[in-house]
A and B are shown apart, each in its own frame.
Chain A
Amino acid sequence: MITTLYAALFAGALYATVAVGFNIVFIATGTFNFAQAQYAMLGLWAAWIGLEVLHWNLVLVILAGFAVGAFIGLLNERLAIRFLPSTGVHGELVTTVGFSVLVVGLAIAVFGDNPQVVHSTITGNQAISLLGGRVYPYELVMVVVAVAIVVGFELLSRRTMLGLASLATAEDRVAAILKGVNVRRLQIGAYMVAGGLLMAVGPFIAPVTYATTGIGDALNIKAFVAMSLGGFGSPKGALIGGMCAGLVEAVVGRYLSANFQNLALLAMLLTILMLRPYGLFGERVERAV
Chain B
Amino acid sequence: MVARLRALREHLPPSYVLPLLFGALVLATPWLVDNGIEVPSLGTGPALIHEVEVIAIYATVVVGLNLSYGFAGELALGQAAMFAAGAYVTGMLAIGSIYPHKLNELLITVPASAVAAAAIGFLSGVPGLRLAGWALAYTSFFLVLIIPDMASAFPNQTGTFTGLSPIPDPVLLGHKLDADGIFRVIVASAIVVFAVFRNLVVSRHGVALQVLRQSPVLASSLGISVYRTKLFAYVIGAVPAGIAGGFYCYLNNFVSPGLFDMYTSIGFIAASVLGGSRTIYGAIVGVLVIEELGPLHTSVFTHFALPIYGALLMIGGVVLTGGLSGSVGSLVKFLRRRLFQVTPARLVPREPTLDLGQFDGAELRVTGAVKRFGGLTAVADVSLTAKPGQVTAIIGPNGSGKTSFLNVISGFYRPDAGTVVLGDRDITRRAPRTVALAGVSRTFQTPSIPSGLDCLQVVASARYARDRSGVLAAILRLPSYRRRVRADEREARRLLGATGLAHLAGARAADLPLGTRRLLEVARALAARPSLLLLDEPASGLDAEDVRRLGWLIRAVAGAGATVIVIEHNFQMMLEVADVINVLRAGALIASGPPAAIRVDPAVMESYLGEAVAVEGPAAPETGEREPAHP
Contact = CB atoms under 8 A, between A and B. Distances in A.
Contact of A94 (B126, B145, B317): B317
Interface stretch (A58-66, A145-153, A259-267): A259-267
A93 B311 contact: no
B403 interface: yes
A145 B407 CA distance: 47
A115 interface: no
Given A105-B307, A270-B127, A273-B135, A98 B313 contact: yes
B134 A277 contact: no
B77 A97 contact: yes
Given A88-B321, A274-B130, A263 B146 contact: yes
A108 B310 CA distance: 13
B461 interface: no
B609 interface: no
Contacts of A103: 310
Contact of A289 (B123, B213, B403): B403
B153 A98 contact: no
Interface string A83-115: 111001111111101111111111011000000
A101 B310 contact: yes
A251 B318 CA distance: 43
Interface in B283-339: 303-318, 321
A287 interface: yes
A284 B304 CA distance: 42
Interface in B109-132: 123-124, 126-128, 130-131
B141 interface: yes
B137 A108 contact: no
B75 interface: yes
A95 B313 contact: yes
A95 B153 contact: no
Contacts of A88: 317, 321
A221 interface: yes
Contact of A95 (B124, B134, B317, B403): B317
Contacts of A274: 126-127, 130
A80 interface: yes
B141 A221 contact: yes
B146 A266 contact: yes
Contacts of A100: 310
A88 to B, nearest CB: 7
A197 B137 CA distance: 25
A217 interface: yes
Nearest to B448: A289
Interface residues of B, number: 59
Given A102-B310, A102-B314, A274-B127, A217 B145 contact: yes
B321 A85 contact: yes
Contacts of B145: 217-218, 221, 262
B571 interface: no
Contact of A93 (B134, B217, B304): B134
A1 interface: no
Nearest to A223: B138
Interface string B69-82: 00001110100000
Contact of B138 (A108, A269, A271): A269
A250 B414 CA distance: 42
Contacts of A221: 138, 141-142, 145
B24 to A, nearest CB: 34
B340 interface: no
Nearest to A102: B310
B590 interface: no
Contacts of A289: 217, 403, 407, 412, 444-445, 536
Interface stretch (B169-177, B262-270, B576-584): B262-270
Interface string B400-441: 000100010000111000000000000000000000000000
B273 interface: yes
A101 B138 contact: no
A100 B262 CA distance: 12
A273 B75 contact: no
Given A102-B307, A217-B145, A287-B217, A94 B139 contact: no
